[in-house]
Amino acid sequence: MINATTIGILIGSLIIGLCIFIAVTYNTLVQERNKVKEAFSTMDVYLKKRFDLIPSLVEVVKGYAKHETDTLQEVTKMRTVSQQGDLNSAINSEMKIGDALKSLIAVVEKYPELKANTNFLDLQGRLSKMEEEIAFSRRYYNGSVRVYNNQCQMFPFNLIAAMFGFKELSMYAVESERERNVVDVKL
């Protein structure tokens, strides 16, 4: 026969077990959210490095392509806009900078002497390496977001996530149809 002490111990054990489950689940969600923040910060560092290369690239191109001011102004404008906003607006701004840089590289096609300029070649190489690092950091960011979002959506983690206000995060995705198409760039 079950007495009051046994029932008290069972209820106490259930409450302690539930508290431990909630604490472990909450801490796991916090850990995964922090991994997403770290991944975004890593990507942001590479974006900042690319961002810092833009003025040098624009200056080198400006010397050769004096009448291409619209493209140069667009690249400079996108660089200024990217310094404002939250995570989603930063991702959108970064994509616009990528588009503007593609336009700038397209301008370079018209100037063979610019393509042979050692300063431009150096900047182009650094920019190319930076783009590879950005692509890697985007994959890392998206992987971190995937794990975090899975935990926010899957039972029983979703109960704790909803209780404590953990929200799903956006993955980095290509928005522009132009970026989805394969482009043959020859420099």
Cβ pair 46, 134 in contact under 8 A = yes
- Establish if 10 belongs to a structural domain: no
- Establish if 9 belongs to a structural domain: no
User: What region does 165 belong to: left with phi over 0, alpha with psi -120 to 50, or beta?
Assistant: left
Specify the number of domains making up the chain: 1
**Containing structural domain, residue 96:** 30-180
Which residue type is seen at 81?
V
Give the tokens for residue 160: 């704790």
Cβ pair 160, 28 in contact under 8 A = no
pTM of the model: 0.67
Cα(99)–Cα(92) distance, integer angstroms: 11
Instruction: For 49-89, write each residue's pLDDT tens digit.
Output: 887 877 777 777 766 665 455 555 666 666 555 555 566 66
What pLDDT shows up at residue 159? 92
What pLDDT shows up at residue 85? 55
Cβ pair 137, 56 in contact under 8 A = no
Longest CA span, the chain: 95
- Establish if 4 belongs to a structural domain: no
- Establish if 57 belongs to a structural domain: yes
Cβ pair 35, 147 in contact under 8 A = yes
Question: Phi/psi of residue 55, each to 5°?
Answer: -60, -40
Give the tokens for residue 161: 């996530």
Q: 134 Cβ partners below 8 Å, 6+ apart?
A: 43, 46, 47, 50
What value does the mean pLDDT take over residues 88-116? 69
DSSP class of residue 85? Answer: S
What pLDDT shows up at residue 119? 74
Cβ pair 50, 130 in contact under 8 A = yes
- Establish if 142 belongs to a structural domain: yes
What pLDDT shows up at residue 73? 61
Burial class (CB within 10 angstroms; exposed 0-12, middle 13-18, buried 19+) of 144: buried
- Establish if 164 belongs to a structural domain: yes
User: Above pLDDT 70, what percent of the chain?
Assistant: 64
Instruction: For 107-150, write each residue's pLDDT tens digit.
Output: 666 666 666 677 777 877 888 888 888 889 889 999 999 999 99
- Establish if 122 belongs to a structural domain: yes
- Establish if 187 belongs to a structural domain: no
